[in-house]
Chain A
Amino acid sequence: MKKILLLSLFLSSTALQAAHHGTHDMADMDSMGDMHSHEGHIHEQMVDGKELAVDPQRFDQFMIGIESNAVAVVSVQGMVCDFCARGIEKTFGKDKRVSKIDVDLASGKVLLAFPVAADIDKADIEKKILNNGLNTSTIQIVGR
């Protein structure tokens, strides 16, 4: 009985997650089909002579509503767990200079949007990442 309960817990969680993913993907496709502005797109963009290391589709989705902002694309090491990455959102959420945050576990990237007038301090970003027990490998700024 108790093993059945453990098994049912697992099956329920997997089914719940599968249903959530299906709905999420369709919603993304619908929203992308309704608009196509070139501002904020980063197809084949280079930054400081290096290819921008971020998923273009995810970046475009992130830029919706903040097309005029500059974005710091932060490559983070050790960010392998959602539970452990929670602090990144909380830490940067307290920073009034940051207008939007995106955490991508799959690519190990954190996107931070700053209004065009805001100062982007790379050292401060690295320190905040470190205070979450993680390390920064690269920070690329788009839109400056």
Chain B
Amino acid sequence: MVPLFLSVKSATKVLTLSFIGIPYGGMKTAFIILCLLVATHSMGRPISYVGGHTIMANSGPQSDGVYWHYTPNINYSLGLDYQRDKISDESFSSARLTYLINRKNTAKSQRNLYLKTGVGLNDSDNHFYALTGDWETRRVFAGFSATQTSGIGYDMFEQTLKVGIAPYLGAYGDFHTWLMVETKKNDMDDDRITYPVLRFFKGGALMEVGYHKKTDWNLHLMYRF
């Protein structure tokens, strides 16, 4: 079954216009629906507050998918995702677990280290393990990930690094913007790619969009409730 997904380009255009022009109150429902339509393998905030639900959608060079997770405890979240693996051209569902290995809160910063894993519900040959971490203040962000992914007929190890800065410090409830740069490399491709990323969020909704001429658009949507 081939899911009906919006293309990344059309979704980006819709969201750009929406974030700029449409009142926020009218965005929530549309945002959730859009998350469900734009599918990908996500990398956003992996653990929410206790009792919180998060729905994410990503579109990138490796896969498209949609991911839901629930946080029963501050130390872990459980979730399900559905993704289309562009490398193996397979679509499948996975169960996922994210575990908070370590967190350090200070008055002005937070640092996190997570272990993530997922396994295909119908075929355990589809699975991944990842170690991710981040450190941020209200002004600066730095994050990394190291992911081992196994799909039908391939194995891939990928490393990413992302840094960002907030050009202005918004108050709680404001529309927030981050300017970021992400660099990634995997062992299936000799080239390292580095590209700009814009992150926007307001309330419980977040959008991240990046572009590189080799991989085209990367889009990440998230809604927390």
Q: Chain A interface (Cβ within 8 Å of chain B)?
A: 2-3, 5-6, 9-10, 12-14, 16-18, 20-21, 75, 77-78, 80-88, 90-91, 103-106, 108, 130-135, 137
Interfacial chain A residues near B219, Cβ < 8 Å: none
Chain B 101-125, CB-CB to A under 8 Å as 1, else 0, gives: 0010111111000000000000000
Report if B162 contacts A (CB, 8 A).
no
State in angstroms the CA–CA spacing of A143 and B169 once bound together: 31
How distant is B109 from chain A, measured CB to nearest CB, in Å? 6
Determine if B110 and A14 form an interchain contact, defined as CB atoms under 8 angstroms apart: no
State in angstroms the CA–CA spacing of A104 and B170 once bound together: 10
Determine if B176 and A82 form an interchain contact, defined as CB atoms under 8 angstroms apart: yes
A interface SS class? helix
Residue in B closest to A94 when the chains form the complex, CB atoms: B51
Chain B 126-155, CB-CB to A under 8 Å as 1, else 0, gives: 000000000011100000000000000000
Interface residue tally for chain B (C-beta within 8 Å): 47
Interfacial chain B residues near A90, Cβ < 8 Å: 49, 52
Report if B2 contacts A (CB, 8 A).
no
Residue in A closest to B137 when the chains form the complex, CB atoms: A80
Determine if A9 and B45 form an interchain contact, defined as CB atoms under 8 angstroms apart: no
Residue in A closest to B217 when the chains form the complex, CB atoms: A2
Chain B 214-225, CB-CB to A under 8 Å as 1, else 0, gives: 000100000010
State in angstroms the CA–CA spacing of A12 and B109 once bound together: 28
Determine if A106 and B169 form an interchain contact, defined as CB atoms under 8 angstroms apart: yes
Determine if A78 and B74 form an interchain contact, defined as CB atoms under 8 angstroms apart: no
Report if B177 contacts A (CB, 8 A).
yes
- Known contacts: A132-B49, A134-B105, A137-B107. The answer to whether A10 contacts B169 by CB under 8 A is no
Q: A82: which of B51, B52, B174, B217 is its contact (CB, 8 Å)?
A: B174
Interfacial chain B residues near A105, Cβ < 8 Å: 138, 169-172
